A and B are shown apart, each in its own frame.
Chain A
């Protein structure tokens, strides 16, 4: 592991008011500068875990440390503004045009119009959109992939050290998804960021992440460097890999 941990989950538990255990004793370190994929089926707790990092959800026991400080000691507004956040395409503000969406974090921080517009132009280039063509389009006038590019630009606008991505490419067709994955990979190689990616897509995790954490029933069942994941002897990992690779294995027979 390189350097220190950017995010630490320390004995994190979340119990619903009805007694249901959603997260069960999560101990996890996310190394600074890494991309960690949280992999697991729907309902395994991966999105819940992600949303604890920017304090949208607070644990019922244990603590989540960001930059060596418990999230409950952070001012939630300051914490959230310092963390990039990307979700599926529905996350854009429907009444903001692409430029205002990309600059949203800068706008709420109170930066000047000129600063925002300057930074927005840079971001359009970074995420591969032509400023003149797209800046003044509303989200509904963009394709799924273009919306996702705007969403990514918005997350990067304030130059956060931390980026949370929640199923960012879930709603895209396979070709657009592959393009977006390529772009994200290139982009993140240039930026020094710690990234957590929530996905149920094993191939996406293998392609983008440096570590894969497999969650099941609110527990961490595996936490492995990406190279060791597919060959792992852990039963849950094996069944996940088998389920995803079923079609591929049959073809190669």
Chain B
């Protein structure tokens, strides 16, 4: 009991002292080892976002190279071998190393702040997931630079990617990259689900969860049920290649289309778990810049959920040109059309929000408005692709290239850039430059349409995807040149973004805690937030906590009674967020990093010898055990706070 009273003394310390103590408790340790041991969700989130942006730029440079090669017919800037590696790595990078991870990275940074928490639920696992992602990405680019880049497309269809037609180690690196990114993505999903369900501020019932958090929660559930398919598929692929299994070898009872089913069972939902977080950004930004809550909150939440369910019923529409049964195709057409309804619902709700609000035209809103133009076109061409007969004509042509970029850039990248402008002041404490921001937007918007609109016509005019060049007499030259001009414009606009971010980080105007006058909880924290996020964790009394007074009459407004010298926070019940117990978070640790290094060694070595799985498991077991093993000093502190359930 003496221990307990010690803890109580610290709890009642004056606010100023409390802040310093909390900062000391929650901050990352100093030094290089400390940097590698960091587990604060904001540090990991920042590194995650910056890494994903790095891969976005790398993938963009690959795209620019392709555009230069295709700018004129019969061009010889890059040969077929390099071109095939480039387009494979471009797709792989953008899908596996940028689009999905960047959304999870944003969630790792923002979700705890938006729900009034001090950390993600499993911060060491978050750190491990980040390192796995980073090492996987570095591995595939190292392979590419060593001339061993994968060359069978981001979809790695067998038999082209299989043992007979994909010799060397190229596609093994691809299959292993999938393992890296899936491990990372799945762990982050568990982390986000538990964070959202258990760490919400008291009073933040299901009906009061911000729409962005809803989007990330639904996305995390989708990842859990979709990613295992490709993880299993890529494992079968690498086993076919390395230990002579026959999953995809039709001569020994295997099946070529099995790969496509497994890949697209993941691959189509993947589009939606890139797109749904984009919808979350849209809702957050539109509400703030229309100066009112988003119209139709229940409809918005239902739409996100409906989209996530329907997304699992679309995968065969990537396989209309194969031998799948006719009746099956009609079902998948119907599903492809139906999924437009929830998206349309959300678009109409946003337009209604803007129509009945008062509009503040700032850079984040511009990017969001870009979404409407681009995504609606992409959605409509998606309906065309959902129709079996039209798909048979435009499938695997530049029409699809146009469509998928309209959907992914319009539906995810434009909202993401808006989100970066929007949350930059929260993350760095400084505002980004508006003038550069507007240049960034208009160049991106114009460049995007110049680059991708002509591809619709090229596809209808018969230009297939994934060709490294084309004969002059096909007449595809002028539109391709135009498209390249657009691509260069996009590159310039992204460069402006980098300049803006780097300059604003040092010299931008100092941001207040809530520079946009927004409503959600992250804007109640300092800019940038303290290591502990909230000095006194908030209690929520409505859907718009910073805009309206608490609806729970007589309810408290903040949480007290948490330890200051131990990473302690409040766990609440999943549905109605009632206080449940005090949850003690782990301390920073080097072991997640070391475990990620060990896992990386195992994964890469297993490309060269299957036995690496055996000795590699032992190698991984050591740091993972050290990670789990409790420290005596920490246990002492916990015992001081312990109260049995």
Q: Do A and B come from one complex?
A: no
User: Could you list which residues of chain B lie within 8 angstroms of chain A, going by C-beta atoms?
Assistant: none
User: Could you list which residues of chain A lie within 8 angstroms of chain B, going by C-beta atoms?
Assistant: none
